[in-house]
Amino acid sequence: MLVRRFKDELTKRERVELTLAFKETDRVVNFDLMHNPGTIEFYAQEKLTRENAPHVVGRAIQNSLDLVRNVIYPDIPRTEVRDDGFVIRYEEWTAWIEKRPFETIKEAKEWIKKNIEEVKDWHPGEQWTFFGKTTAARTETDEKYSYRENFLERQKLIGDTVLYHDESPVGLDTAMDICGIELFIYLYHDDSQLISEWLEALNEHEIKRVHDVADYKLSPVAMPYADLAYKTGLIFSPIFLRKEFFPRLKRLVDAWHLHGIKCVFHSDGNFMEVLDDFVAAGVDGVNPIEPLAGWDLIDVRNDYPKLVLQGNIDCSQLLPFGSEREVKEAAKKAIDDIYPSGGLLLGSSSELTPAVNPRNVVTMIEFSRQYSRRKPFVSCPIDEIELELEYVPFS
């Protein structure tokens, strides 16, 4: 059972907006992507099933987070054979492409040529992502696409928790996932002009979508994304990225900014080598700042004092296997180093997967909330913060 003896002074929206503006808040912002069943059941105080998932997941997010990337429910495990030749495998909390309608470079090039024309034929409601063209849910009474109504439906589930605008692909990640990284690299070597034309079409399509759906009243923040790195460095060379990625990222960020919406860029791994390029492209922040990929929050803040920093509590080793004290120490260090200067959105170093220990997640969230409330903020020993909570897992 969770018992809280403190009251927030700000609304979640106020807290998020002040944090994005590097202004003082009543406590740190808790951010994440929530799909850990134990944590969901703890904060919802109800057993999670597929039937009640929207409401249970929504209630858990409302009771735990100030800011969330998206609202995700457990899916029915299945294999979907699509009309376009793609075969998609769905598991409870993830999905991936099992088969593509092309195997060779020649087949892929023919598919891409046709796809460029399809992508250029823009229609409201369409977005090109990992699995090709997607369309948000339609309303029961109106066949016309409504991003706004789809957004508000999710917002209703999570109450006053701030919801990111839908994740915004720059184009590179979309192309790389549609092809698979190995074939994508061979394709670029074989016909860089064709792939560049494809990336441009995907980027222009997303920019048109942004201008169609962006609304500051819905959310003050968006997440452009492309996974560009692994633990020790970049997947692609800086030369390639400066030619094929950063100019398009800048145009996408500029589009969101025209609507008054800030952009926190997402890529896993270590992309510190090109962090100057991200700043030049206009991003307002970066996520998830993986500590096991070599990131240190204080180093980033010292070098880039105006970047919002989001994430950083390790979810690959610490949250699954660490002790509760180690989790508190990691949260304390992040808050000590960054919170006094503003711009900290505290959360996991990627997402709260089913593999993390729910006790550690609850500890991270509740400790950071209480520890950061001290005003004026002064660092103190962990043992001075008493968490009055009992974690009761559901059987």
Residue 235's nearest CA partner among 289, 162, 194, 185 is 185
249, with CB counted inside 10 A (0-12, 13-18, 19+), is buried
Q: What pTM did the predictor assign? A: 0.95
Residue 28 forms part of a structural domain? yes
Residue 81 forms part of a structural domain? no
d(CA 149, CA 244): 34
R_g over Cα of the chain: 21
Tokens standing for residue 277? 């390029």
d(CA 339, CA 28): 7
Tokens standing for residue 254? 């500029």
Tokens standing for residue 376? 């004026």
Looking at residue 260, the DSSP 8-state letter turns out to be T
**Pairing relation of β-strands 221-222 and 262-266?**
parallel
Q: Where are the alpha helices (DSSP H) in the chain?
A: 12-20, 37-44, 53-64, 105-120, 147-158, 172-179, 181-190, 192-213, 238-244, 246-257, 275-280, 297-303, 318-321, 324-338, 358-371
Residue 298 forms part of a structural domain? yes
Residue 95 forms part of a structural domain? no
Domain that holds residue 175: 12-74+103-384
For the chain, the domain total comes to 1
CATH number of the domain encompassing residue 206: 3.20.20.210
Residue 86 forms part of a structural domain? no
d(CA 27, CA 10): 9
395 residues of the chain, pLDDT tens digit each? 565 656 789 999 999 999 999 999 999 999 999 999 999 999 999 999 999 999 999 999 999 999 999 999 999 999 999 999 999 999 999 999 999 999 999 999 999 999 999 999 998 889 999 888 887 544 444 555 589 999 999 999 999 999 999 999 999 999 999 999 999 999 999 999 999 999 999 999 999 999 999 999 999 999 999 999 999 999 999 999 999 999 999 999 999 999 999 999 999 999 999 999 999 999 999 999 999 999 999 999 999 999 999 999 999 999 999 999 999 999 999 999 999 999 999 999 999 999 999 999 999 999 999 999 988 899 999 999 988 777 776 65
Residue 92 forms part of a structural domain? no
Residues 6+ apart with CB under 8 A from 121: none
